[in-house]
Copies of this chain bind each other. A is one copy, B any other.
Amino acid sequence: MKAEIVSIGTEILLGDILDTNSNYIASRLPGLGIDLYYTSQIGDNRARLADLLRRGWERSDLILCSGGLGPTEDDVTREAICEVLEEEPRIDPALEDELRAFFARRGSQMPERNLKQAWLTPSTRAIPNPRGTAPGWWSEKHGKIIIAMPGPPGEMQRMWEKEVAPELERRSDAIIVSRTIKTSGLGEGTVDEMISPLLKSTNPSIGVYAKPDGIHLRLTSKAATREEAARLIEPLEEAVERILGGVIWGHDDETFEVAVGRMLRERGLTIATMESATGGLLASTITDAPGSSNYMVGGLVAYATEQKIAWGVPREVIDEHGVISVETARAMAAAARRQCGSDIGVGITGVAGPDPQDDKAPGTMHVAVDSGDGGDSMSYTYNQSRDHNKRRAVANALQLVRRTLLAAR
């Protein structure tokens, strides 16, 4: 099935909002065996939209729209679709009742202009939208489909997941299932070499991708049903797990902080941090994982040198090696453990940039982990923006915690 995506809204063309709906939908089409050839953004202009939809109607089997379903005169998606279908809209009594009930529940009367949200045409059925007043439209004629969803991402995504994707999946004769396996600690080339006997497989197939949090492997299979596709992928996944074992830290949408948090929980260990260059971003990232209060005791942002000393970094270490040194990072990790009484301590010192500090180049980072009976550290200089430098150091600190936990196993 050939598809195209159309996002509707003048704010997109003004650059005031970024069209994330297209990306959301695009990323989900391969799984349904649907090929995407075009995506476009267009303003709230009925003639131009109708023109674009007519063109899509000729070249594609499926047009996926979002936006322009509001009650105002600017919202012209329904009108444009009517032009393409060559049909007149009529008010659907059941939809009208629902709409009036929606407003009544909020204690207000429905403005009459909202009535067009109760429109349907002979080739159109409504797609439920419990999150808003605008139902979607599923129009089907001459073997072609136009689906119109609301613009707000929360409404669109729910409609996609609960209503549109399941129906498209039912009609698809080729479902694609994919599974992402996330690793860290090995380079892309090494991973590629280790799994090279598996790379020949075509269904399921396997791809290797370098990402900021390590090397990801994407396993993909294609079959008539989801169950069959999942069955195809299983032996390949097991083979990958056998080969890569300990370097795998997570699957699919799992983040590093959630994976590390799970390891800490499983081992019954607690963690604490002392940060300088990252200014609290490591603590904030660790606590991005729901339930992190089970293992995160506390964090210290020792931005000033005297503050590091006040919180237990020996003055001699700083005097001898400098504030920006791996020795200071190690002392910070140890001090974090002591200050918070945790099992694991993490220390980060460095130069976030953009300017050098103490003659050290921006992007210089020292990260250390202390686990009481041992420790680990890494030092590097890699300068991008201040924001990137902070994020990279946090990712590396989480990697180091993981390595320490594995080594202690």
Contacts and interface: CB of A to CB of B under 8 A. Distances in A.
Contact of A13 (B37, B286, B287, B288): B37
Given A20-B18, A37-B13, A286 B279 contact: yes
A37 B48 contact: yes
Contacts of A15: 23-30
A14 B37 contact: no
Contacts of A37: 13, 42-43, 45, 48
A41 B43 contact: no
A284 B278 contact: yes
Interface residues of A, number: 62
Contacts of A29: 15
Nearest to A154: B384
Contact of A300 (B22, B293, B301): B301
B386 A288 contact: yes
A150 interface: no
Contact of A304 (B36, B39, B297, B353): B297
Interface of A is mostly: mixed
Q: Quick one: copies of this chain in the complex?
A: 2
Contacts of A290: 353-355, 386
Contacts of A286: 279
Given A284-B284, A297-B304, A298-B302, A39 B12 contact: yes
A281 interface: yes
A76 interface: no
Contacts of A20: 18
Given A40-B38, A307-B297, A387-B288, A27 B12 contact: no
Given A279-B287, A281-B281, A284-B301, 11 more contacts: A14-B30, A15-B26, A19-B19, A37-B42, A37-B45, A40-B41, A292-B303, A297-B304, A299-B299, A299-B303, A301-B301
- 8 A-B pairs with least C-beta separation: A15-B27, A279-B287, A280-B283, A280-B280, A299-B301, A15-B26, A280-B284, A281-B284
